[in-house]
Amino acid sequence: MEKEELKILAQNLANPQGEKGIEIGEMMNATNISMTLESIKTLVVDDDQQILEIGHGNAAHLKSIISLAKNLRYTGIDISETMHNEAKRLNKEFESQADFVLYEGSKLPFQDRAFDKIFTVNTVYFWENPVEFLNEIYRVLKDDGTFVLTFGQREFMEKLPFMEYDFILYNNSEMEELISKSHFKRMKTSEKEEEIKSKTGNETIQRIYTILTIKK
């Protein structure tokens, strides 16, 4: 890929826009689905719970969440108007259980202790003020709730050609240190490895990623 193409790809990974954004949203859902499903499994969802996903993309995985338990209420929040509209379009059958919210990326527009479970996959690289944002997540999470944060490790991510464009990368110890600066008090680290198709070509690559289970 040419440098300008890589820059456009990176911009759309952070904030998908227009027709190109829809295409990249589909690609992201496909390449991230195993990370997303592992994150959902880690939440340990129960009946009647309120779930928040930060950075839902096209939310083609919503059915996998709704089917986990009875009377779930899902809220997805995203900075991309393209993904907001695409998620609503793809999930019309779940509109009685799911809400999609567009926001500016720093303040979560919800009441304190609104959610039982919160998760986010591959968004932490784009948080402008990560400690402040973690404290926002802390604020909207119930006292006995669970927050799952999933990210690609620095060692893997640095090898990707579009990483030079506005991605902030972390290894496990850096992420744990970041979280320790927030109000959160407890965390458990789980490391995963998988083979995936590259976003820039047809080759396969080994992805190393981490799932953090975080509690108040």
Per-residue pLDDT of the chain (216 residues; tens, 9 = 90+): 456 564 665 565 666 688 877 887 787 788 889 999 999 999 999 999 999 999 999 999 999 999 999 999 999 999 999 999 999 999 999 999 999 999 999 999 999 999 999 999 999 999 999 999 999 999 999 999 999 999 999 988 887 765 665 789 999 999 999 999 999 999 999 999 988 776 555 677 788 999 999 999
Rounded to whole angstroms, the Cα distance separating 55 from 120 reads 6
Specify the pLDDT at position 28.
79
Whether the Cβ atoms of residue 208 and residue 189 lie closer than 8 Å to each other: no
Predicted model pTM: 0.90
Specify the pLDDT at position 20.
79
Cβ-based neighbour number of residue 181 at 10 Å: 11
Specify the pLDDT at position 18.
81
Specify the pLDDT at position 194.
87
Specify the pLDDT at position 13.
63
Specify which residues 186 forms β-bridges with. Answer: 215
Rounded to whole angstroms, the Cα distance separating 118 from 43 reads 8
Kindly state the DSSP code that residue 2 receives in the 8-state scheme: -
Q: At which residue do the structure tokens 């919210």 appear? A: 101
